[in-house]
Structure 1
């Protein structure tokens, strides 16, 4: 007898549902898209326990009558397309007829709806095959009210892979805010465990950005308007000189559909080429429209992957749109055009920041090793830094010197970062990070997502030496920073740290070595000021500090701290040798 059997229907339904509904946020996405397709101009979302216990979406769209309510949760039933060639011109967000069927296969589904202009509304509950169990009259006003309870209770294999309630809720908040940004004609409200976490009424795009991302970003964006053929690009991008640490502030919709597209992401960043710093990303809220025949959205049941018939044309349109907007920006990055001359070290004034970096051991090491012959210095990792004879400082960025082997260049900022990083991580390991009150608190605006991150990680931030306190509606103040960095500190680092904590890494409020490394790297980078003027003693002291590091040859980001040109190579460059 053969070994291949047809799977039971119930098993097939659950496998299919697992492709469409992977987490609570998947349910919210499908229901919001149904509301938008129904012409709603108000959508309310309620979640409990990160959406695991309850997801409820209420809209004031066109609603359904009794007949539609009876079959809407059956697989492959839809009002969006009717014929095969409709797939070539899809203009709605939903079309596959799988969403409600997949939801009811893995949860308890109840829908109330009333068609606009109808005298009565109706309510229905469904079994896991999508068949309506009972339909009765309901007092609901025009629109639709969908309740999804006990998600994945019927599908324990998927349930055990869900994240914590906070993490799942954060995904939902992020999703709803993104739909709110682009659909400026729709009011969105989100409630988590009875508490309002998003209130985004109908407004213009900048007001929507203000509601969702906060005042700081709203004040640093530029309008984008560009058309090429049948492709148009509209929305907002950040001004030149303003960026964030992650891509979490890039939101892209194509024909009203929230999408993931490397083609578009790469094009946005190409448009900012040479206008934004390394490891920083522009803010972008873009809505791209093109002919439905020019794209295929029927790639995956989640409908967030698309293929373009001519992806090069789409990429060019986005690049040109970004470049046109950026060229109009008056907020350009100012680059100091100082001469690249070698200046004697003794002409520089003392730098308090670097002086504060030196420990008493470092200072003694400088005095001792200045007197002791190089050959007698005990060899250890980094001891070569103690044998370098300092000549001066180049362009306020590099320490130039020499030893018996070569001419040497030290990137003083990379070196300072390495020293700060190792001392800071050691303090973290020893649980010995202390804080300094900032001379002037740094007040910054936050959106709902960021506020949630701050409250979730308040204990972690204090462990890192950062004290953050509420300062009013939508604002917080950084009042203290790690004492290691002194009282004058680039406090904007707190924004980068909040971005990291709220990123897709999902640390879940816990501390681990990976998080320690990332936060320490960010904190130390902001402790370094560009263009520090160093005295000879400070340069020697920095080299002494660097010599004590476990890994003195790179900064925490992997950039080299030291470059050498041997005397032999130098002679070759000046053609003083036949080699």
Structure 2
């Protein structure tokens, strides 16, 4: 082996640059973040060959004085950190003082800047390193331009790993989108090969989000602004009915910085757990603001990850805020669950309860309106005595519209008309036709009812005839004992039986024969989830299974009063738009959509 020796400074700089500069998009991110920190309200990005040949960022922010230009391109020089306290409470996007010198180390870079009140701008250039020349006079408005050319010209091995210009352009556009999403007060423009690819004026937050991800997201989402205990969450969460096949519309900002964080992702995923199909992904644009001293942004070289000093508190706040806003959604044909008539002709129907894969149960032929007497069905609602004696009396009267009929039509889900193939309820409201999946809707009603009953009295525990001794690490036992009171509320009671063991005396009644050791280990895992989530998730799975088995099945004939009772229960039930598995429970076809289906008025 060769002797240990110091690397040349030029090679050290090129290796360090790899922490920050992976591709043109990474350069764009660093430069635009510096522009935003400088207070720019206009930022222009110009690219050639996807940024491989040239990447130029011009801003209207506070410029750099002539005497500071050399420092700006030197390592470990920054205007944003003065002491250790500043490093522990970072409020800016960029702070390392490493971006510009790192980019310079692997490119031909020109820096031009002018501060307000200066007679002229000043320019400094270098290729891989700073030259010996002093800053030169230049023409430039107030602000800064960083012109980066021939990226990785001096490190050909790195350049081989870059993709085609089209691919690099896509990455650059994504990087700029993430930066511009939560900065609607700043004007952004992106040009490629002298052609404008993106132009965002100063606009409202909603307009900026709509411009970048589409009007459909804003119209199919819920705006929220929640704050508690020094934490504030703003933005939009997509309705469960607008779930996507990919996680391509998920933006999270922490103190203005776009991040990808496991704890945040876990909290959002849990908030959607009861309303989202396991193979679907929610859409959201969210901004979390908290004390900079309580979050470490220096976890990742590119500052895309963060670490919260009180992870459980942040997780609980995020979960609670999103969960509660989703639960406030009630059936409202004016807001969601509308069907595009162009796609209504070939609906995608999921497999129905208990049927063979791909098969769809078809009920035997029978009259359009179910006229048999209403059966006793306490799970939906108790029917009034007149409806029990004469179900026909509640049917629509054709020509005469009574006050009761009018009131029913004004309900969000309207008045029941008929049952289709023993599966769907057809109802009419003031807007048109409502189609309800009876099983999915009833399943949600039962599930929410079961959860409410348990929340009132806590979860009953089932005492074990033979208490079970679980061996764990000492620190794990200490953690469990600190949470003993909270876990007992959930039906799990135990005592310490040794330095590294606990004796479990009762388990949550609904959990059946679930592995107790596995459950305890799940409760001990604080990485990205609250310590009670494991038992709550297991409980919810059991409740969902009970609700699914108890809900009305296919081919069950429902009377009109029963169908109306279910519609009213849906209107009173939280999250009634989706079943426990994330499938929608109802859709609306308004009169205009029906007219278009039949080409009426054309």
TM-score (norm 1): 0.58
Is the 2:57–2:145 contact (alpha carbons within 8 Å) kept by the matching residues of 1? yes
Is the 2:106–2:155 contact (alpha carbons within 8 Å) kept by the matching residues of 1? yes
The Cα offsets for residues 105-127 of structure 1, whole Å up to 9 and x where unpaired, read as 00010011111222221111124
Find out whether 1:206 has 2:193 as its counterpart.
Answer: no
Deviation at 1:242, TM superposition (A): 0.9
Deviation at 1:34, TM superposition (A): 0.2
The CA distance in 1 between the partners of 2:217 and 2:317, in whole Å, is: 24
Query: What is aligned with 1:48?
Result: 48
3-state DSSP of counterpart to 2:135: strand
The Cα offsets for residues 221-267 of structure 1, whole Å up to 9 and x where unpaired, read as 22121112111111111123112221121111111111110111221
The CA distance in 2 between the partners of 1:395 and 1:344, in whole Å, is: 7
Query: What is aligned with 1:471?
Result: none
The CA distance in 1 between the partners of 2:423 and 2:133, in whole Å, is: 76
Query: What is aligned with 1:480?
Result: none
The 1:348/1:63 distance shift into structure 2, 3 A limit, reads: farther
Query: What is aligned with 1:34?
Result: 34
The 1:236/1:344 distance shift into structure 2, 3 A limit, reads: closer
Query: What is aligned with 1:183?
Result: 183
Deviation at 1:394, TM superposition (A): 10
Is the 1:113–1:145 contact (alpha carbons within 8 Å) kept by the matching residues of 2? yes
Unaligned runs of 5+ in 2: 339-348, 368-419, 425-552, 556-602
Deviation at 1:215, TM superposition (A): 1.9
Deviation at 1:30, TM superposition (A): 0.3
The CA distance in 1 between the partners of 2:100 and 2:246, in whole Å, is: 34
Find out whether 1:222 has 2:222 as its counterpart.
Answer: yes
The 1:343/1:253 distance shift into structure 2, 3 A limit, reads: closer
Between the two proteins, the alignment pairs up a number of residues equal to 356
3-state DSSP of counterpart to 2:288: strand
Is the 2:56–2:148 contact (alpha carbons within 8 Å) kept by the matching residues of 1? yes
Deviation at 1:276, TM superposition (A): 2.1
Find out whether 1:260 has 2:245 as its counterpart.
Answer: no
3-state DSSP of counterpart to 1:246: coil
The Cα offsets for residues 337-394 of structure 1, whole Å up to 9 and x where unpaired, read as x998997766499xxxxxxxxxxxxxxxxxxxxxxxxxxxxxxxxxxxxxxxxxxx99
Deviation at 1:192, TM superposition (A): 1.6
Is the 1:210–1:217 contact (alpha carbons within 8 Å) kept by the matching residues of 2? yes
The CA distance in 2 between the partners of 1:235 and 1:184, in whole Å, is: 13
Deviation at 1:15, TM superposition (A): 0.7
The 1:9/1:242 distance shift into structure 2, 3 A limit, reads: same
3-state DSSP of counterpart to 1:241: helix
The 1:107/1:274 distance shift into structure 2, 3 A limit, reads: same
Is the 1:43–1:189 contact (alpha carbons within 8 Å) kept by the matching residues of 2? yes
Is the 1:112–1:123 contact (alpha carbons within 8 Å) kept by the matching residues of 2? yes
The Cα offsets for residues 550-576 of structure 1, whole Å up to 9 and x where unpaired, read as xxxxxxxxxxxxxxxxxxxxxxxxxxx
The CA distance in 2 between the partners of 1:66 and 1:344, in whole Å, is: 81
The 1:188/1:75 distance shift into structure 2, 3 A limit, reads: same
Query: What is aligned with 2:66?
Result: 66
Deviation at 1:17, TM superposition (A): 0.4
Matches within 5 A, 1:353-392: none
Find out whether 1:107 has 2:122 as its counterpart.
Answer: no
The CA distance in 2 between the partners of 1:247 and 1:339, in whole Å, is: 28
Is the 1:51–1:168 contact (alpha carbons within 8 Å) kept by the matching residues of 2? yes
Deviation at 1:204, TM superposition (A): 1.1
Is the 1:114–1:122 contact (alpha carbons within 8 Å) kept by the matching residues of 2? yes
Is the 1:73–1:126 contact (alpha carbons within 8 Å) kept by the matching residues of 2? no
Query: What is aligned with 2:240?
Result: 240
Deviation at 1:170, TM superposition (A): 0.7
3-state DSSP of counterpart to 1:190: strand
The 1:2/1:35 distance shift into structure 2, 3 A limit, reads: same
The Cα offsets for residues 43-91 of structure 1, whole Å up to 9 and x where unpaired, read as 1111111110111111000111101112211111111102222211111
Find out whether 1:144 has 2:144 as its counterpart.
Answer: yes
Is the 1:187–1:200 contact (alpha carbons within 8 Å) kept by the matching residues of 2? yes
The CA distance in 2 between the partners of 1:269 and 1:348, in whole Å, is: 44
Is the 1:111–1:123 contact (alpha carbons within 8 Å) kept by the matching residues of 2? yes
Is the 2:121–2:140 contact (alpha carbons within 8 Å) kept by the matching residues of 1? yes
Deviation at 1:134, TM superposition (A): 4.2
The CA distance in 1 between the partners of 2:2 and 2:354, in whole Å, is: 81
Query: What is aligned with 1:325?
Result: 325
Query: What is aligned with 2:549?
Result: none
The CA distance in 2 between the partners of 1:395 and 1:117, in whole Å, is: 78
Find out whether 1:163 has 2:159 as its counterpart.
Answer: no
Query: What is aligned with 1:3?
Result: 3
Is the 1:240–1:329 contact (alpha carbons within 8 Å) kept by the matching residues of 2? no
The 1:294/1:395 distance shift into structure 2, 3 A limit, reads: farther
The Cα offsets for residues 13-42 of structure 1, whole Å up to 9 and x where unpaired, read as 111001110111110000010001000011
The Cα offsets for residues 104-162 of structure 1, whole Å up to 9 and x where unpaired, read as 00001001111122222111112423456442111100000110001011111111111
The CA distance in 2 between the partners of 1:152 and 1:249, in whole Å, is: 32
The CA distance in 2 between the partners of 1:339 and 1:53, in whole Å, is: 58
Query: What is aligned with 1:197?
Result: 197
The 1:139/1:276 distance shift into structure 2, 3 A limit, reads: same
Is the 2:107–2:127 contact (alpha carbons within 8 Å) kept by the matching residues of 1? no
Deviation at 1:92, TM superposition (A): 0.9
Matches within 5 A, 1:448-463: none
The CA distance in 2 between the partners of 1:165 and 1:6, in whole Å, is: 37
3-state DSSP of counterpart to 2:128: coil
3-state DSSP of counterpart to 2:248: helix
3-state DSSP of counterpart to 2:265: helix
Matches within 5 A, 1:492-503: none
Is the 2:220–2:336 contact (alpha carbons within 8 Å) kept by the matching residues of 1? no
The CA distance in 2 between the partners of 1:234 and 1:130, in whole Å, is: 44
The CA distance in 2 between the partners of 1:33 and 1:94, in whole Å, is: 6
Is the 2:363–2:421 contact (alpha carbons within 8 Å) kept by the matching residues of 1? no
The Cα offsets for residues 185-237 of structure 1, whole Å up to 9 and x where unpaired, read as 11111112222111111111110012111222232222121112111111111
Is the 2:113–2:121 contact (alpha carbons within 8 Å) kept by the matching residues of 1? yes
The Cα offsets for residues 418-441 of structure 1, whole Å up to 9 and x where unpaired, read as xxxxxxxxxxxxxxxxxxxxxxxx
